[in-house]
Every structure is written in structure tokens, then in C-alpha cells.
Amino acid sequence: MSIYPKLFIPGPTHVPKSIMDILSTPQIGHRTEEISKLIESILLDIKALLYTSNNIYLVSHAATGLWEMGLRNSVQKGVLHCVNGAFSSKWVKVSEACSYHYNVIDYEWGRGVKAQDIDKMLSTGDYDVLAMVHNETSTGVMSNLEEISELMRTKYPDVIWLVDAVSSMAGIKIEIDKLGIDFILSSTQKAWGLPAGFSICSVSDKMAERSKLMENKGYFLDIEVYEKYFSKFQTPSTPSIPHLFGLREVLNIINKEGLNNRWDRHKEMRDYTIDWAISQGQNLFSEEGCHSHTITCIENNQNWDMDKIYNKLLERGYRMDRGYGNLRGKAFRIPHMGNIYMEDLKDFISEFEKVIHV
């Protein structure tokens, strides 16, 4: 058995050796025709995966930096944050640190973001930006983007809509152009199934126009700078070239699988995990209608000894999750995304079952 347990935590997720090997492809120059061809082909496939003609940027840092990019290129009047878990809550800290005028719609953890609550707050006219997390990794809650899109398109077409899709992009179908999302971001260590430290975002024309009007947006996260380089299929600074090779490989795998098959696979793994949890007498932490396709958060109402299960699974070659922050031991998460296929999930759950009562 490998000294490295197979990861069943909600990021970084499992990356098989075949993909890790691709990351050690020899370096190429970042101002060469070779890299431009590589980037162009990656952007083309990401646009197809996200059903968009918006500009896509590849960014060599964690997604947290893109929270800031979204805000710095859009907030003039104020930003309304929807908070329903740990990551949406952390995003607020960025607005606070950047001294933006902001307000928060606060949900009980486990609940999804609702269009009517957004409507109530945006109708004040105090905000020109809405920020929300599509898939709250801390709670396994996936909010309904269609419902929010309907509201944004019909009543608030001038408000910039920022969406964190860190643990949903590439695992759940998100039709950006149809939904009208202005800025959506993800990092690679979740459903993309690559190592951490690299991110992807999509920027609408509306967002790019807003960016041009912004003062004090700095240089590193300026969308105008990004656009200047990406129009030549290059990056503003030296990128993580191994991640580019890795992304190319993952996109090849995705293309072979087919997008609809990929979305279905994630949904099937979600259903399997939910059925298993219910059959064990456990409940789901996420509210009905908001169960994520990429991660299931299970309320531990059977009082399983999660530390014991964790240690026993480690002995068997798996690292599991015991729950985020204060939820530790009370609600644990089973991720099922990216390079995890039904067989991997079944193997994990079968090992899990063996150690529940030993």
C-alpha cells in the first residue's frame, strides 16, 4: 500500500499517477508559440465545458485570489454577499479587507441561497455587485443558479453577478451564457482533479466594461491586464506550466468521457452516497433540493465515532473527512468528484462500512 492515502477529502481531491506524471512534462518557454497553442486549445475546451463565449483566464494561484479579482474589478457602490457556509463567509472577509461597502444575507448552514432574499436586498439599490458560492464545500449545499439567474436577468441586469464555483465547476453542468454569470471562478484541486495552486475564471463583457471604470484595482488582479495577454494566448506573468499540461490532460479525459456523461456520473455518485447514508440511518445536512452533485454532507445522528473511523480508514489507505470546522464529528462529508468514479466510491464506502462498528 502507498504511504500516501487515497484522498476522500473535499480538496485536494484524488489525482491518479497517470495525471501526476503529465505534470512533469519538460518546461516550455512562456512567451513561445508552443505555449500559445497549448493555452488556445485549453481555452477552447473550457469554453465548451462552461457553455460560454466569455473570456477565460488561467491563473497561477489559489481561487482565494479570484475572490479578490472579482471584487476589485466590479464594486463601486457596494457588494451583497450571500453567506451559507464557511467559504461564502470567508469571501466577506475579502470585502472587509478591501474596505468595500458590503452587506450579508446570512443563512443557517445547510440552507441554499434563495432568489427572493436577494431580491429584497437588491431592491434597495444599495448594491451593484452580488457575490455567492454555488456549491458550499463546507456543507454540501448546491444553490439553485437558474432561479437566481431569472431574477438577475429580469430585474437587475446592471448588477454584476460573481459566482464561486470552486467545488462545482467541471463536476456540475453550469451554462454560463444562458445563466448570465458575469464572473465565475474555480480552482483546480476539486472537480477538475488536479493539484491545488491554480485557478480558472470566466469574465463577461459587462464585467470587462465595469473593470475599465474601476480605480485603485492594482495590477496583479486587473482584468484589463489579463485581457491584454490572453488575447495573444499568453499569461501576464510566468504561469505554472505543469498545471497547463495537467489541464490539457484532464480536458482530454473529459472530452473522451463526454460532458453529459460527466454530469450524469457526478449525479449518480451523489444519489448512491445519499441512498447509502439513509440506509445507515443517517440524515443529510443539506436541505432538500440543494444536495450537491460533487459532495455529500451527512449528519451524524447515529453518533458514529468519526475519529475512530478516520484512523481505521487511514490504516486501510484512505483519508476521509470528519466535518468542516465546528461541524467536526457532527456532519462529515463524502466527496465524489473529478477523478473519483463509481467504482472508487463503492470501494471507499465498502471499506467505510467495515470500520463503522469495529
Site residues (vs ligand PLP, CB under 6 A): 11, 62-64, 87, 133, 137, 164, 166-167, 187, 196
Cβ proximity to ligand PLP, 11 vs 70, nearer residue: 11
DSSP alpha helices (H): ranges in 238-285? 241-257, 259-279
CA distance 26 to 13: 24
Residue at 177: amino acid letter:
D
* Shortest distance, position 53 Cβ to ligand PLP, whole Å: 25
Pairing of strands 79-83, 283-284: unpaired
Greatest C-alpha distance within the chain: 62
Residues in the chain: 358
CA distance 176 to 50: 6
> What's the gap between Cα 109 and its chain centre?
18
* Shortest distance, position 32 Cβ to ligand PLP, whole Å: 28
Cβ proximity to ligand PLP, 84 vs 273, nearer residue: 84
CA distance 294 to 277: 15
Number of Cβ within a 10 Å radius of residue 289: 10
Residue at 277: amino acid letter:
A
Q: In 3-state terms, what secondary structure has residue 307?
A: helix
* Shortest distance, position 144 Cβ to ligand PLP, whole Å: 16
Cβ proximity to ligand PLP, 143 vs 167, nearer residue: 167
Query: Can you list the positions of beta strands (E) in 143-294?
Result: 160-164, 183-187, 199-203, 283-284
* Shortest distance, position 291 Cβ to ligand PLP, whole Å: 16
Contact 292, 286 (CB under 8 A): yes
* Shortest distance, position 105 Cβ to ligand PLP, whole Å: 17
Residue position matching grid coordinates 469571501:
91
* Shortest distance, position 312 Cβ to ligand PLP, whole Å: 25
Cβ proximity to ligand PLP, 85 vs 236, nearer residue: 85
Cβ proximity to ligand PLP, 167 vs 273, nearer residue: 167
CA distance 78 to 95: 9
Cβ proximity to ligand PLP, 49 vs 169, nearer residue: 169
* Shortest distance, position 64 Cβ to ligand PLP, whole Å: 3
Cβ proximity to ligand PLP, 173 vs 316, nearer residue: 173
